[in-house]
Amino acid sequence: MAAAPRASNSAAALAGRKRSTRSDDAPLTRSQTKTKADRADDTALAALMADQSAVLGEDDSSSGEEQGSTASEAESDDLADFNSDPDVTSSEDEDDDAPEGEDVDSGNDASEDELNRMLAAEDGESDSSESYDEESEEESSDEEEIEPAVTLSGLRVVQRGRHLDMPDTLPSEDEDPATAPGHSTDEEIRQALERNRPNIPGPLEHVPAFPFQQDVDSSDEAPSDLSDDEHTTNPVGRGIPSEWYADHPHIGYDLDGKRIMKPLESLDELDRFLAKMGTDAENDDYWRTVKDKYGASLKLSDEELQLIDRIISGRYAEQESANMYPEMIEYYSGKPMAHPLPQPTEPKRRFIPSKWEGQKVMKLVRAVRMGWLTPRAAKKDSRPKYYNIWAKESSEEAPNSSASSNYIPAPKMRLPGHNASYNPPEEYLWTEEEIREWEEAHPEDRKAKFIPRKYDSLRQVPANPQLIQDMFERCLDLYLCPRVRKNRLQIDPESLIPRLPRPRELRPYPTTESIRYEGHTGKVRSISVCPTGEWLLSGSDDGTVRVFEVSTGRCAFSLDLGQRVNAVAWNPMPGTFLFTAAADSTVFFVAPPAVGTLEATEMTRSLIRSSIEKKGSFSAPPNARPVHIDWVLPSEEEAAKSIVLKLEHRFVVTRLAWHRRGDYLATVCADGLSRAIAIHQLSRHMSQHPFSRNLGHIERVLFDPAKPHLVVATQKTVRIYNLQKQQLVKRLRSSSNHISSVALHPAGGEHVLVGTFDRRVGWYDLELSSDRPYRTLLYHKYAVRAVAYHNSYPLFASCSDDGTAQVFHGRVFSDLLQNALIVPLKILTGHRIVDGFGIMDCAFHPSRPWLFTAGADGTVRLFV
Amino acid sequence: MSLNMSADTPQEGQQIQARFVAATTSAMAAAVPLPTIAIPASLRRYGLSEILNHLLANATPRPYDFIINGHFLRTSIAEWIKANDESSENVITIEYVESLTPPKTIEQPDDNIHDDWVSSIVATPSLTHAVSGSYDSQLRLWNAQGQVAGRSSTTSEHLPKRSIKAITAFQLDGLDYVASASKDQNAHVWSLPSLTATSKDVSLSPCVTLVGDGHSVEAITASPCGQRIATGYWNGAIRIWDMLAANDLAQVAPSSKKRKTPATPADRPHVDLPHLIELSGGHSAGPITALHWTTGSTGVEDDEQYVAMDMASGSLYSGSWDESLLEWNVAMNAVTHRMHSPYPISTLSHSPFHNLVATGHADIRSIQLWDPRIKDTNVCQRSLTGHTGTVTSVSWSPELAALGPAPLLASASRDGTIRIWDMRATIPLFTLQAHKGAVGLAVNWLKDTVVSGGSDGRVKFHTLSPDTSA
């Protein structure tokens, strides 16, 4: 092995200079440089193989580490031999001992340094590509100093040329490192030329463009590659100086032992002289013609001359205009590019064989060799050699596996029975009667498709006239057979019903009749509970208005208005004792003096007195619509009946609604068209019609308990108006044709109950965008007359002409996520149905969970 | 096991061993002890009474009531044994008491009828007369025979302006007073003249007006000592009034010529009295529907300073529609016990003997009995069911020997009946159809007589004493 001498050689030759490493690893380097870039990997692989083979071959090797190092070196040599490139070897050797190297000694200068630096840069590239083989090298710092800014292909060209032809100038450089710049010799120039010209021996046409110019690309490689085989490979063996062949016509021998001839000398002495004299006009290039070391004449191009000029004048060999430091091409920049990156620079490591992979492979190979690693036992083929081809069908029909559960076998035809035989037994043959019956029946109703017939022999059987039809039906059977088995969901219908709390858990709510408020002789149309819950007001068809004590049922006050009382309403102003009753077209303000506490009576009296005094002090706004409603003071007779004020309308007043402050009263005249709704202000004795157009048949109006909203229920819709902004806030549509009543939830008025004459009660949630009810409750048998919310308990009730009032739990959640919970609680019965009228009105006690119902039987009942 | 069961279960016509014992508090306790005898198990009250009359050798047979283990026997002995899981082989000790005769309603002429519903009835402290208040804002004085002994004055300008909702009676400085609560926001104190059984046409007029502020007075009661009056209002307020201050005011009133306490109520000048204190921290809302101030034991020891201030002692019970039943120590203006009824309370009465508060409710028809000594429970001790309408008034009887060892409870209901309850029985002792077709609104005791009033305007006297029936 040549490892030891080469190592010493490298130590000696190389003092921080990498050029000497070339001689160390010459075979490998050469082989690699000789091969194309594509072949670099192959080389590495070959090296790997050699390495392994070396390791495996040396059975007596002790440690893996040692083996690795020795093997890599052995491998290098082996590889060189394996590649068997004698030309390279010889040329390298020739380089090593090139006579030109001695000449260089005399002329060391800056330009040479420069050149060397450039070379070093190139070597850095090349060496780093070979770093797999050079594990412990000293030149790593030099290598990384300069990164050549040229393409890889260009670099390789350079490397190859240099390796082939470069004279070894190192010793001289080492000896005179401080030689003055600015001085150059022909030899130096020639070296430079040779370094920069890869294919010196070849024809000039094959010389690639100046390698440092970036427009050199791989298209030039192919011819240079050819020239490798033809000219540049010097097979002369190592250690044979070229001057030995100076006097010979050949320069060495090839593998076959044939001479490699020197290039032909085309000119004789005379011609050379003439050329030197420049007599020939065409041939005055003598001055720029040099000879290479093989004796071939070489004509320097203009660029090369310029290069020489620059070197002579002490400038950079490279053209100054050429960009030594080209702009960095930011392949990977933050700027978005218009086009995708076609060929991004491949990283260097792509081309480097992995050392660790190599070691791993080595280990594996070794393990295989040593028998530690054995191939996996072949998987036993569990499939049977023979199949029961029918087995699959039976397994598919079995509904065991999940895959086969979806399999639906094609509908099978019934197998023919004895009756289908051409010669059936006698008992299968039909009687005449059966045949007649069969023929008379509709084809779809026939119990059999054919009549069994008896033939003496099979050949007497006629053709089946129904054959086409049967085949078609069979096709239909197959075609219309369901492809997918529909899985019926196993859902308990009970579980789909929402789980509602039990009514028992939702106590308290009215359950039983407690007190009957008697005295009316006609239908009680309307009731109202005073805000303190102490008194109950009722208006009846018998023309009377009565005030009952809630706790006992005693009628404390009765007033005969003479006409049917359509509506009654307490004034909700606290501390007063005043109520209104609408009979015919008049609204009566009644303040009974003998009921209610002394203070309340006094307050009511002063309220009415002040309102009468203020009457003239306010004038209606000028653009207001004319109002045909009169505030009338009662007559003596009426005043004796404790009527304090009257509101004379033009139409029959059907509904009353107080604002919660007790100053505004809304009245509805159902026939009033555009003047159906009027709002009266008690303190100023003023009336106005808030709507200028006819909204339709108005059923109810309500003031919102919290907001300045007015709820107007017509026959089909419920509209909510903002009175301050004078705009429509919401319109709720009912599914029915006739709304009978409407109620507002006390907490913010975000929920509206609407009762209709077609038995339904709709719960509307204003927070939902829909104008349809959130829930529709259809429990009553007849028309719903009234609906009511409780003030504080989560209760609401509806009463109907079927004589029942129904109580519901209606809980409203404030978190906006849950919808209202509605639970039917109780059906309250007891009222007698009179002339088809059951319960006309219902109202909750303001503080207790009690429900008052006004029946057509003339009683008002309290359910507790 | 089955043998035992069959042996234990009394069969038809089976004899059981029984021993009759006179009830300890009965007057017959000194009678000779009776031997243990075998009696048929199918016997009821009537049969037992026959046997007992025979044993005691009474000349005239008397009805008896029988008590086993502290409860009235209302079934046959066999059924009782079965219901109580007793053994028929043991000797059963049966206490016997002479049963109360059914109350006799005193017939009254029709001109005694009130013009309006009778709202409340109370017996005068001297227990000679009863006073009824009516929704027509009138008071009427009745003697024990059910005759009208007096009416509200027609001339006084201080009469209540609205219905009278509740009345109470108290004695102060030897004089009888009646206080009435009116829906006109004021309460009135009427002084009663010294009454005899024969006094007639007494004119009643209020001497003190307890001025309210806009809410009707729903309940009124006087302290046992008579020095304080408590009124309950619709808005949930309870106010305490100082009658001593009223008397002082009356003495310095300008109309009074004499400086000493007026001997007759007629000379007494009328005064308007502001309230002493308003009890706070009690009921959250709702009308105070029932108040009762008794000599019951308070949970808090009377502090010396309050005793020194001569504040009223005893416990004030208040019931409201807000479903709470409170026991107050008025001297400390503090709630000493809070009982939560699930139903709004419409009436209540406290018995110092049992220390039980009986309440009638606006939602349910049963009478609930509460023990204020049990501090840690809100559950009623007992419930008396039987009325078919809500109970409007309850009243404990005075402790009289004629009525038995323990007070009885009388209740009036909206079903028009008056029921009398003994705590030893689960069903009422008597059910009186006092106000047929009307609503019973008031009941109270005048000694051994139950006085009831209803929406028919009648005040009826039902006497329980066997002597008067004779």
Q: If you measure CA to CA, which chain B residue comes closest to A599?
A: B214
Helix (H, G, I), strand (E, B) or coil at B469: helix
Q: By C-alpha distance, which of B411, B400, B412 is closest to B446?
A: B400
Q: Where are the domains of chain B?
A: 2-98, 104-469
Q: Quick one: pLDDT at residue B466?
A: 61
Greatest alpha-carbon span in chain A:
164
Paired tokens of A860? 């008002």
Distance to chain A for B364, nearest Cα, Å: 8
What are phi and psi for residue B334, nearest 5 degrees? Answer: -140, 150
- Answer with the residue of higher pLDDT: A637 or B305: A637
Q: Quick one: pLDDT at residue A88?
A: 40
Distance of CA B374 to CAs A618, B320, B325, B371, B378, Å?
65, 20, 13, 6, 9
Q: By C-alpha distance, which of B135, B130, B232, B136 is closest to B176?
A: B130
pLDDT in tens, A694-732: 888 899 999 988 888 999 999 889 999 998 888 898 899
A595 vs B contacts (CB less than 8 Å): 162
Looking at A682-804, which runs of residues are DSSP E strands? 686-688, 698-703, 709-714, 717-722, 727-733, 739-744, 751-756, 760-765, 775-778, 784-789, 795-800
pLDDT in tens, A148-202: 433 333 333 333 333 434 344 334 444 444 444 444 455 556 665 555 544 444 3
B234 contacts A534? CB cut-off 8 A = yes
What mean pLDDT comes out for the span A93-103? 41
Residue A280 sits at the chain B interface (C-beta within 8 Å):
no
Assess contact for A537 and A520: CB atoms under 8 A. no
Q: Quick one: pLDDT at residue A74?
A: 40
Alpha carbon distance A94, A242 (integer Å): 6
A864 vs B contacts (CB less than 8 Å): 362-363, 390
Residue B158 sits at the chain A interface (C-beta within 8 Å):
no
- Write down the H helix ranges in B192-270: 243-252
A847 contacts B286? CB cut-off 8 A = yes
What mean pLDDT comes out for the span A230-252? 68
Q: If you measure CA to CA, which chain B residue comes closest to A575?
A: B214
Residue A555 sits at the chain B interface (C-beta within 8 Å):
no
Q: By C-alpha distance, which of B412, B410, B402, B408 is closest to B434?
A: B412
Helix, strand and coil content of chain B, in percent to the nearest 5, comes to: 15, 40, 50
Is A741 a residue whose pLDDT tops 80? yes
Residue A574 sits at the chain B interface (C-beta within 8 Å):
no
What mean pLDDT comes out for the span A567-589? 91
Alpha carbon distance A55, A181 (integer Å): 51
For residue A664, the cross-strand partners are A681
A515 contacts B162? CB cut-off 8 A = no
Q: Quick one: pLDDT at residue B106?
A: 84
Assess contact for A714 and A697: CB atoms under 8 A. yes
Is A495 a residue whose pLDDT tops 60? yes
For an interface test with A, the pick among B157, B185, B346 (most A C-beta atoms closer than 10 Å) comes out as B185
Domain B2-98 architecture: Roll (3.10)
- DSSP for A59-120 reads TT---HHHHHHHHHHHHHHHHHHHHT-HHHHHHHHHHHT-THHHHHHH---HHHHHHHHHHH
Lowest mean pLDDT, pick from A98-112, A237-251, B117-131, B284-298: A98-112
CA dihedral A338, A342, A344, A345 (to 10 degrees): -130
pLDDT in tens, B338-361: 888 888 899 999 988 888 899 999
Q: Quick one: pLDDT at residue B100?
A: 81
B321 contacts A848? CB cut-off 8 A = yes
Confidence of residue A854 (pLDDT cuts 50, 70, 90): very high
B393 vs A contacts (CB less than 8 Å): none
A600 contacts B234? CB cut-off 8 A = no
Q: Quick one: pLDDT at residue A109?
A: 45
Cβ of A505: how many Cβ atoms within 10 Å? 9
Q: If you measure CA to CA, which chain A residue comes closest to B442?
A: A552
CA dihedral A155, A158, A160, A161 (to 10 degrees): 170
A597 contacts B214? CB cut-off 8 A = yes
Q: Quick one: pLDDT at residue A235?
A: 57
Alpha carbon distance B329, B317 (integer Å): 9
Query: Who contacts A176 (Cβ-Cβ below 8 Å, separation ≥6)?
Result: A105, A108
Residue A410: exposure state from Cβ atoms within 10 A (0-12, 13-18, ≥19)? exposed
Please, what is the Cα angle at B23 between B21 and B27, to 5 degrees?
Answer: 110
Is A205 a residue whose pLDDT tops 90? no
The whole-number mean pLDDT for each consecutive block of 10 residues of chain B, a chain of 470 residues, reads 43 75 60 77 86 83 84 85 82 83 81 85 89 90 87 86 91 88 91 81 88 90 87 91 84 53 59 86 85 67 47 78 87 84 89 88 89 75 89 90 83 92 87 88 89 90 65
Note if the bond before A508 is cis, omega within 30 degrees. Answer: yes
Distance to chain A for B98, nearest Cα, Å: 38
- DSSP for A7-61 reads HHHHHHH-SS-SHHHHHHTHHHHHHHHHS-HHHHHHHHHHHHHHHHHHHHH-TT-
Residue A597 sits at the chain B interface (C-beta within 8 Å):
yes
For residue A679, the cross-strand partners are A666, A688
Query: Who contacts A315 (Cβ-Cβ below 8 Å, separation ≥6)?
Result: none
- Answer with the residue of higher pLDDT: A330 or A4: A330
A551 contacts B362? CB cut-off 8 A = yes
A597 vs B contacts (CB less than 8 Å): 162, 183-185, 212, 214-216
Nearest CB neighbour to A597, from listed B117, B135, B185: B185
- DSSP for A138-192 reads STHHHHTT----S-HHHHHHHHHHHHHH----HHHHHH-TT--TT---HHHHHHH
- Write down the H helix ranges in A251-301: 269-277
Alpha carbon distance A18, A137 (integer Å): 9
Nearest CB neighbour to A552, from listed B235, B363, B441: B441
Is A405 a residue whose pLDDT tops 80? no
Alpha carbon distance B228, B295 (integer Å): 13
A861 vs B contacts (CB less than 8 Å): none
Tell me the ipTM for this assembly.
0.87
Handedness of CA A428, A434, A436, A441 (dihedral sign): negative
Alpha carbon distance A48, A104 (integer Å): 39
Q: What is the CA radius of gyration of chain A?
A: 59
For an interface test with B, the pick among A504, A598, A606 (most B C-beta atoms closer than 10 Å) comes out as A598
Residue A605 sits at the chain B interface (C-beta within 8 Å):
no
Query: Who contacts A22 (Cβ-Cβ below 8 Å, separation ≥6)?
Result: A29, A123, A163
Cβ of B294: how many Cβ atoms within 10 Å? 19
B184 vs A contacts (CB less than 8 Å): 597-598
Q: Which of residues 363-382 of B touch A (CB under 8 A)?
A: 363
Q: Where are the domains of chain A?
A: 3-262+308-312, 263-300, 512-863
Q: Which of residues 210-269 of B touch A (CB under 8 A)?
A: 212-216, 234-235
Which amino acid is present at A685?
H
B392 vs A contacts (CB less than 8 Å): 552
In this structure, chain B runs to a length of: 470
A599 contacts B234? CB cut-off 8 A = no
How many alpha carbons lie under 13 Å from residue A357 in its C-beta half-sphere? 8
Q: If you measure CA to CA, which chain B residue comes closest to A510?
A: B363
Q: What is the CA radius of gyration of chain B?
A: 24
pLDDT in tens, A506-516: 888 999 888 89
A508 contacts B214? CB cut-off 8 A = no
What is the fold, at CATH topology level, of the domain defined by B104-469? Methylamine Dehydrogenase; Chain H (2.130.10)
Alpha carbon distance B66, B74 (integer Å): 8
For residue A722, the cross-strand partners are A709, A727
Residue B387 sits at the chain A interface (C-beta within 8 Å):
no
Nearest CB neighbour to B135, from listed A514, A554, A599: A554
- Answer with the residue of higher pLDDT: A303 or A127: A303
Assess contact for A552 and A559: CB atoms under 8 A. no
In this structure, chain A runs to a length of: 864
Cβ of B126: how many Cβ atoms within 10 Å? 13
Residue A391: exposure state from Cβ atoms within 10 A (0-12, 13-18, ≥19)? exposed
A556 contacts B285? CB cut-off 8 A = no
B455 vs A contacts (CB less than 8 Å): 552-554
The conformation of residue A232, written as its DSSP 8-state character, comes to I
Q: Quick one: pLDDT at residue A191?
A: 62
Mean pLDDT of chain A: 73
B346 contacts A598? CB cut-off 8 A = no
**CATH number, domain A512-863:** 2.130.10.10
CA dihedral A247, A251, A252, A255 (to 10 degrees): -150
Which amino acid is present at B324?
S
How many alpha carbons lie under 13 Å from residue B340 in its C-beta half-sphere? 5
- Answer with the residue of higher pLDDT: A158 or A411: A411
Cβ of A315: how many Cβ atoms within 10 Å? 15
Distance to chain B for A598, nearest Cα, Å: 5
Q: Quick one: pLDDT at residue A254?
A: 78
What mean pLDDT comes out for the span A429-456? 89
Query: Who contacts A539 (Cβ-Cβ below 8 Å, separation ≥6)?
Result: A524, A525, A526, A527, A545, A565, A566, A567, A568, A581, A582, A583
Assess contact for A858 and A518: CB atoms under 8 A. yes
A-B Cβ pairs (cutoff 8 Å, strict) = 68
Distance of CA A433 to CAs A429, A430, A441, A443, Å?
11, 8, 12, 17
- Write down the H helix ranges in A558-622: 598-613
**CA B301: distance to chain centroid?**
26
What are phi and psi for residue B64, nearest 5 degrees? Answer: -120, 155
